[in-house]
Structure 1
Amino acid sequence: MKKILAALVAFAALTAAAPALGADLGARPYYKQPPVYAPAIVYNWTGFYIGGHLGGAFTGSHDFNGAVLSDSSARLLGGVQAGLDWQFATNWVLGTEGQYSWLGKNNLTATFPGGYVYTNDQRGLGSVTARIGYTWGPGLLYVKGGYAYSDNSERLTLAGAPIPFLLDGSHTHGYTVGAGVEYMFAPNWAVKGEYMYYDFGSTRFISPAALVPFGSFHNDDHTLKLGVNYRFNFASPVVARY
């Protein structure tokens, strides 16, 4: 009986000491899940692109020393472009671009005394330019300039019959300058707005002799374009590491 009582007393003592022993072991460790960070997109302008554009072209003022010229100066245009950019610093982009725009019907016509009629149908404008731009992430503001080409179809008639003629210089080749803004709105895709001025110099008749005294006329164009580019260089999202 004494042995049973002793065992019961010992068991009770152990039961009373158990909570204190558990407290000495410390709290269960708590593991917190690390935070999830959204991917950080890095915009990269370096690479090749192709695209298309629509807009309008406006011919500058022309005259042959008082001879009246009639022309449909406002025309629709549409074309294609391709280029290569290099982002050589955090906010700076250097590039080159080739572009061609088909023009709506435009007959620049000059009627001279004696029945001579000169007509120039300008069918297209092309350019090869260099450009430099300032970028802030998805946006790019740029200026450009370089070689320009005008696709002209010219004729001279007398009393309705075509006759040969000679000009003192080609107004097919010239220069262009412009500026624009481009914006990446989705992976691989960008939209742009652009103004370009084309100058093809002045031209005068060398023959026939009857047109030589009328002097020269200037050849220039202003264009406004809206376009879209597919870019092969858009950077994949980069997840920041901590």
Structure 2
Amino acid sequence: MKALLRAATALAGVALAGSAFAADLPRRAAPPPVFTPVPVFTWTGAYFGINAGYAFDASSRSNNSTFVVPGGVGLTSGPAAVATFRNRSQDGFSGGAQVGYNYQFTPGSGVVVGIEADAQYLDFGRDRNNAFVSGGAIAPGLILNDPRGLASLDYFGTVRGRLGYAFDRTLVYGTGGFAYGSGSADRSFGGYAGNDSFRTGYAVGGGIEYALPTDSFLNFFRSSAVTLKVEGLYVNLDRGTRNQGVLLVNAANLAPAYVTPIGRRDDEFAVVRAGLNYKFGSY
């Protein structure tokens, strides 16, 4: 019996010594946590999109809106007629599409440069013959037209550079470059002095753009980002002698029937619009 007790005591001692030795051994270190960096957004990449807005006359022309049609030349049934137009009758819807490319020098926040081209429909001219006539009556077959108007423009487009600064997903920018436009004969009255021909000029403006998260519900094309923008543009197109002072138009052939000395040389208008872009390239 004593022998068994001595053996048990010896085994207990060995076990205790083994536990103490194991406690002194170095423990295996746990693997460090895996760090996944959050991707930094960049505006670099190509994009395309659509836009819609409102365009209105932005010229510095005279605010005179009253024009006299002299009698005795077969234009009125009285000795004379006075036509009064709404002072700012040239405005309307504008909509179209754009395509472009941006390059950001430093991801996150930094300078962004780019180029953009767009093509726009214009709804100018719906009020071009809305005038109050007094002192006489316009002869049948003649149409009144505001000689200061923009009615001959059906569309315009631009090719512009862009320069801005990005605050992460927010981009503030200025823009400027080449502009062009034209109109169809049915809205520019028979091509008087070539007024339905192609014309060119310039456009300047600026805006602010914001990039939505990649998983936005608007991301139908699985692009790297969907961006929303608000933009303003001033457009100036040189008209030469186009449509200068056309007050009365022959309804049969849309040719000018009477021209006043008051007209305009340039098509000057402003556009305020909102846009949606799909960006492809770097995240």
If the TM-score is normalised by the length of the shorter chain, which range does it land in? Answer: 0.7 to 0.9
Distance 2:158 2:22 in 1: 81
Query: 1:145: how far off?
Result: 0.3
Q: Aligned pair count?
A: 227
Query: 1:215: how far off?
Result: 6.1
Query: 1:67: how far off?
Result: 6.2
Query: 1:87: how far off?
Result: 1.7
Does 1:100 find its partner at 2:127?
no
Secondary structure of the residue aligned to 1:9 is: helix
**Pair 1:163–1:199, CA change in 2 (3 A):** closer
Distance 1:171 1:206 in 2: 19
* Superimposed CA distance per residue, residues 151-199 of structure 1 (whole angstroms, 9 cap, x where no aligned partner): 2246799xxxx7774279x782110001111111022311111111111
Distance 1:58 1:231 in 2: 30
Match of 1:21 in 2: 18
TM (norm. structure 2) is: 0.65
Does 1:182 find its partner at 2:229?
no
Mark the runs of 5 or more structure 2 residues left unpaired by the alignment.
Answer: 67-84, 132-137, 215-223, 247-255
Distance 2:275 2:238 in 1: 28
The letter of the residue matching 2:112 is V
Distance 1:140 1:75 in 2: 28
Counterparts of residues 40-79 of structure 1 (less than 5 Å): 40-61=38-59, 63=61, 66=64, 68=66, 70=86, 72-79=89-96
Higher strand share: 1
Counterparts of residues 1-242 of structure 1 (less than 5 Å): 5-6=2-3, 8-26=5-23, 29=27, 31-32=29-30, 34-37=32-35, 39-61=37-59, 63=61, 66=64, 68=66, 70=86, 72-90=89-107, 91-107=110-126, 109=128, 117=145, 118=147, 120-153=151-184, 165-166=192-193, 172-187=199-214, 188=224, 189-201=226-238, 203-204=240-241, 205=244, 211=259, 213-214=261-262, 216-235=264-283
**Pair 1:202–1:66, CA change in 2 (3 A):** farther
Match of 2:253 in 1: none
Cα RMSD over matched residues?
Answer: 3.9
TM (norm. structure 1) is: 0.74
**Pair 1:84–1:128, CA change in 2 (3 A):** same
Query: 1:140: how far off?
Result: 1.2
Distance 2:187 2:23 in 1: 104
Q: Any conservation in 2 of the 1:181–1:193 contact (CA below 8 Å)?
A: yes
Of 37-46 and 88-97, more deviation after overlay is shown by 37-46
Q: Any conservation in 1 of the 2:199–2:238 contact (CA below 8 Å)?
A: no
Distance 1:180 1:146 in 2: 15
Distance 2:11 2:19 in 1: 12
Q: Any conservation in 2 of the 1:138–1:184 contact (CA below 8 Å)?
A: yes
The letter of the residue matching 2:179 is A
Query: 1:133: how far off?
Result: 1.4
Distance 1:66 1:203 in 2: 21
Q: Percent identity?
A: 29
Distance 1:106 1:223 in 2: 15
Q: Any conservation in 1 of the 2:90–2:128 contact (CA below 8 Å)?
A: no
Query: 1:53: how far off?
Result: 0.7
* Superimposed CA distance per residue, residues 126-156 of structure 1 (whole angstroms, 9 cap, x where no aligned partner): 1000111111221211111001112224679
Secondary structure of the residue aligned to 2:39 is: coil
Query: 1:92: how far off?
Result: 1.4
Mark the runs of 5 or more structure 1 residues left unpaired by the alignment.
Answer: 236-242
**Pair 1:67–1:85, CA change in 2 (3 A):** same
Match of 1:238 in 2: none
Distance 1:102 1:131 in 2: 22
